Amino acid sequence: MLLAAGAGGAYGRGMSMLALILAAAVSAVAPSPATAGTVPEACGARDGWSDPAVPQRIAANVWYVGTCGISAVLVTSGAGHVLIDGGPRDAGGLVAASIERAGFRLKDVRWIVSGHEHHDHAGGIAELKRLTGARVAATAANAAVLRTGVPAADDPQAGDIAAFSPVAVDRVLADGETLRLGRLALTAHVTPGHSPGSTSWTWTSCARGRCLKFAYADSVSAISAPGYRFSDHPGYVAGFRRALATVAGLPCEVIVTPHPSASGLFDKLAGKAPLVDAGACRAYAAQGEAGLEARLVKEKQ
């Protein structure tokens, strides 16, 4: 109101100039996704599921093409590419734009695979399948939900999470089965707990004579809808514990998680923490185990 009232005088002009200077300073600290060169620069403190980011190479042929709050990973090859996860429904187009901005053609994405069957990670897969023409692969429990878009009845979060656009699944993978595309070989690991269909993925990527073992380790947090008690489902808890042991034992030198903050990915991409860490999956699994045990203790109170 003061700026509008004084816009015709020296005070108004001075304040307008100050506003421009402040705006420029803010822009320098937090550049827009259109001008930022890295994901940490593009996102700053933003972590919204549909906040646009920029593509950034993680290492070798592995690219981050997700949003500021949700991971999507593109593993590339001369024979075509594999995309892991698609973000929420309104982020499918953002993931596609990041793939193109990274210099890759959408039609060269041949497979889309899923981490877990919740709307914030799988909601964009139907749109990305349409845009790319890719086939979709998932493990059995994951595929059952992808085909309907409705969370499974035995999902701890059922009733508290949204449905999403269903998508045709072209291939159902068994635990330990490998999806191959040219030289790419991504192995599916069934790791249920956060959801019944949680799936982790591992592969090896090489560049300049150095090979790294990658793990897209699915979510390990014990989150539920109100009223759900993990302690009332001992079979599910036993499976969750087995899954955590699987995650801890994954071949893993570089970890990426469905929520990038869960594994400190942006700090690693900014050079604030080591990208390569042979103990990363063990530490991530231990974090999940601690959360599950804390939840079980709380339910006894």
257 C-beta neighbours (distance < 10 Å), count: 22
* 116 has catalytic annotation: yes
The whole-angstrom separation of Cα 109 and Cα 161 is: 29
Active-site choice (64, 81, 119, 120):
120
Structure tokens at 114: 């899923």
Active-site choice (81, 118, 119, 189):
118
Please report where in the chains the tokens 């190479």 appear, as a residue: 57
* 259 has catalytic annotation: yes
275 C-beta neighbours (distance < 10 Å), count: 17
Are β-strands 199-207 and 184-190 bridged in parallel, bridged antiparallel, or unpaired? Answer: antiparallel
The whole-angstrom separation of Cα 51 and Cα 42 is: 10
Structure tokens at 170: 């072209």
Active-site choice (236, 259, 267, 277):
259
242 φ/ψ angles, rounded to the nearest 5 degrees: -65, -40
Active-site choice (81, 121, 218, 284):
121
- Number of Cα atoms under 13 Å in the Cβ half of residue 280: 23
Structure tokens at 184: 């790419």
* 81 has catalytic annotation: no
264 C-beta neighbours (distance < 10 Å), count: 19
Instruction: Using CB atoms within 10 Å of the CB of residue 254, give its burial: 0 to 12 exposed, 13 to 18 middle, 19+ buried.
Output: buried
Active-site choice (64, 85, 116, 189):
116
* 118 has catalytic annotation: yes
Active-site choice (64, 189, 194, 218):
194
The whole-angstrom separation of Cα 88 and Cα 49 is: 7
Active-site choice (47, 108, 160, 228):
228
The alpha carbons of the chain give a radius of gyration, in whole angstroms, of: 21
The whole-angstrom separation of Cα 218 and Cα 209 is: 28
76 C-beta neighbours (distance < 10 Å), count: 22
Which residue numbers are catalytic? 116, 118, 120-121, 194, 228, 259
